[in-house]
Amino acid sequence: MAKLVVALVAIHGLGRRETRCLLLADLDLARGRLTIRRDLRHTVYLDELTHILASDWLRDRHQRWPLTANPYLLVSQQTVADERLPPVSTMVMNDIFRPLGLSLSKLRQDRILDEARQTADPVHLMRVFGIAAETTMKYIYAAHPERRSTLWR
């Protein structure tokens, strides 16, 4: 599960809440995509590595807890046993990143900023990461400070 979470953040720029709240039904391995359901719903097209990690995690999840009714993609020993069927905790997410010496949010920000450096296209960033226009422009201006000054001339 940890490898899948790191890939979802580092490659696809998912945030903590949207990663924790992914449902099994959101993952379509046959089509290689993941539907992100938050304020700005968008589709993530899985690269080969993330596809493999997602497939491995589903196999592991089913072997460990074949009878769980928990609808979330990411589960832990505690959430599988909880009759309220919650998503994994923030603590579980933090524990994944602690050995890496990173925080989830910092890794996500770096991923989006890297993409902004590659393309200054705000529509592309909005589609790929499902972020709002205002947030997108902050990344564009951080990656290309010269673009901000041209707006005020």
pLDDT tens profile 14-49: 999 999 999 999 999 999 999 998 666 889 999 999
DSSP 62-109: HHH-TT----BSS--HHHHH-TT-PPPPHHHHHHHHGGGT--HHHHHH
Single out the residue of 53, 37, 38 nearest to residue 3, CA to CA: 53
pLDDT tens profile 80-138: 999 999 999 999 999 999 999 999 999 999 999 999 999 989 999 999 999 999 999 99
- What is the pTM assigned to this prediction? 0.89
| Dist. CA 119–CA 139, nearest whole Å | 11
